[in-house]
Structure 1
Amino acid sequence: MKFKALGTLISAIFLSSLISKVYGGVAKGDFYQVKVYHYKTASQFNSLQHYLKDAYLPALHRNGIKHAGVFNTMHNDTVDRRIYVFIPFKNLNDIELLDAKLSKDAKYKADAKDYLDAPHDTAPYSRLEVILLKAFAGMPQPAVPALSAPKSGRIYELRSYESATEKYHINKVSMFNEGDEIGIFSRLGFNAVFYGSVISGHNMPNLMYMTAFANKDERDKHWNEFIVDAAWKTLSAKPEYKNNVSHIDITFLQAAEYSDF
């Protein structure tokens, strides 16, 4: 298992290095790990919430991660129920170091005992997938949304933009950075949590980003303003950015009350 983890880490480092070279230099910014817990039952949901709230996030905080996010799919999503855990890291090595730290954290092991020792026939989740991202140069660190609305009413929108090839993916990332699509979102008050290029995941080549709104009406209002924004119209009409997105997935999420984001 140790060699497998090391191999995964080396592969991710190689991919990140390759992306940085293509962009023309070492890309500064955080790395993001997104854990996606798929579950089917209310019991699994409750087990995961207990683990994340009372064991995992407190352990992350003790081990130097100031902010981590926990987001649930909307209650009307009965097809694929998921919990997303968003964790920022300063470098790739910190990801492997975290697992080592948790293995020596006595309080974490005690608080997480039900999760860690769950029997095979009452597992707390159906499947777990892990996505690794590199932050965009235009927003190298995540941001806690500047929203006063209670988390129970907020809407978090997670988007994944797939591209036909790596070249088109890099072009779309450039559209966010050099083209300043990030700046348009910022000016219009989209409250971005993060932007990142996926360097290990199952829908590559793709990028992902998350924005936050006080409620569903505010979300719709902001997107309507974005569509007719003059700067966006000019940017999206540029021939150099044509055909750089082949598929878009949109997931609406709610933050857990204990989430840092």
Structure 2
Amino acid sequence: VYHLKTARQEARVDSFLQQQYLPALRAAGIAPVGVFKPIGNDTAADRRIYVFTPFTSLKQWEQVGKTTAPKLLAAGGSYENTAYTNPAYNRLETIFIKAFDEMTGLTAPKLDAPKSERVYELRSYESASEKIFRNKVQMFNAGGEIKLFSRLGFNAIFYGEVLFGPKMPNLMYMTSFANMPDREAHWKAFGADPEWKKLSALPEYQNNVAHIDITFLRPTTYSGL
């Protein structure tokens, strides 16, 4: 997650991602890479760009760090060679997510709507302890929550547990919709579904989420998702 202060920084990071980062990863056999910005990003004090890069394993991530990353840093662009007085971004946040058993990789959405109208919903669920967190993960997998999302057509991009990040223990997942009214209709159907009412009422799954963060995103024109 890139944290930015100005439109100039945003443009510089956009150029780097589109012209260098994504092509380099495609050459390394890593795709699709999703690039998103929060809705209302242009007027935010903390502008952000979210980059979702799918690695098959930590070993592959290490290999890319040894081969592709040095080539990118050696390139002569304004992103790589920025002066310390004129940084390309404010801060860069890295989160490692391990895919759930019920959905083992990034999946492109089946949406006909233009990218400019789509709504991608990123959710982070924090739990009060590691044990309680495992219970929520089980609810998604063996409990059938992922299957319910699938049946109701939520067009999920991924579901996963955070291995390294700032808000652990937590899981994250992303769903996608044609537009905001479509998103509202899907969640209304989810809340009214008998299967969800039964699952959420089970004693073993009570109080397993302590805090929820929801971020609405739109893909960039060059995003692979």
TM-score, normalised with respect to structure 2: 0.96
* Candidates 10, 14, 23, aligned match of 1:58: 23
Rounded Cα–Cα distance in structure 1 between residues aligned with 2:99 and 2:45: 30
- AA partner of residue 60 (structure 2): D
- RMSD between aligned alpha carbons? 1.4
Q: Which residue matches 2:125?
A: 161
Tell me the secondary structure at the aligned position of residue 197 of structure 1. strand
Structure 2: segments with no counterpart, 5+ residues? none
Q: Does structure 2 retain, via aligned residues, the 8 Å contact 1:159–1:251?
A: yes
Find the partner of 2:57 among 91, 95, 116: 91
Q: Structure 1: state its 5+ residue gaps.
A: 1-35
Distance 1:247 1:87, change over 3 A: same
Asked whether 1:207 is paired with 2:187, we answer no
Report how many aligned residue pairs link the two structures: 224
Measured in 2, the distance between the counterparts of 1:207 and 1:224 equals 22
C-alpha distance in structure 1 between counterparts of 2:85 and 2:171, whole Å: 35
The secondary structure found in structure 2 opposite 1:94 is helix
| Seq. identity, % | 52
Amino acid at match of 1:44: Q
Deviations 1:28-78 (A, max 9, x none): xxxxxxxx0000100001001000011100111001102111001112561
Conservation of the 8 A alpha-carbon contact between 2:32 and 2:106: no
Structure 1 stretches of 4+ with a deviation exceeding 4 A read none
Q: 1:32 maps to which residue?
A: none
- Against the structure 1 CA distance between its residues 95 and 249, is the aligned structure 2 distance closer, same or farther, given a 3 Å change threshold? same
The one-letter code sitting in structure 1 at the alignment partner of 2:188 is: N
> How far is 1:101 from its partner?
1.4
Amino acid paired to 1:134: K
How far has the Cα of 1:102 moved from its partner? 1.6
- Of 1, 7, 10, the residue aligned with 1:45 is 10
Q: Distance in 1 between matches of 2:39 and 2:86?
A: 24
Deviations 1:97-156 (CA, angstroms, capped at 9, x unpaired):
1121124547x843x621111111111110011000110001111200011111111000
> Aligned partners of 1:70, 1:104: CA distance in 2, in Å?
21
Considering fraction of residues, name the structure with more helix: 1
Q: Residue type matched to 2:12 in 1?
A: S
Instruction: Pick closer, same or farther for the CA change 1:139–1:41 going to 2, 3 Å.
Output: same
What's the CA shift string for 1:150-190, capped at 9, x where partnerless? 11110000000000000111100000000110011001110
Partner of 1:101: 67
Q: Structure 1: which amino acid aligns with 2:153?
A: G
- Aligned match of 1:193 in 126, 143, 157? 157
Aligned counterpart, 1:128: 92
Q: For the Cα contact (< 8 Å) 1:63–1:101, is it kept in 2?
A: no
CA contact (8 A) 2:116 2:219 kept: yes
- Cα distance in 1 for residues equivalent to 2:142 and 2:70: 43
Amino acid of the structure 1 residue aligned with 2:15 = H
The residue aligned with 2:146 is 182
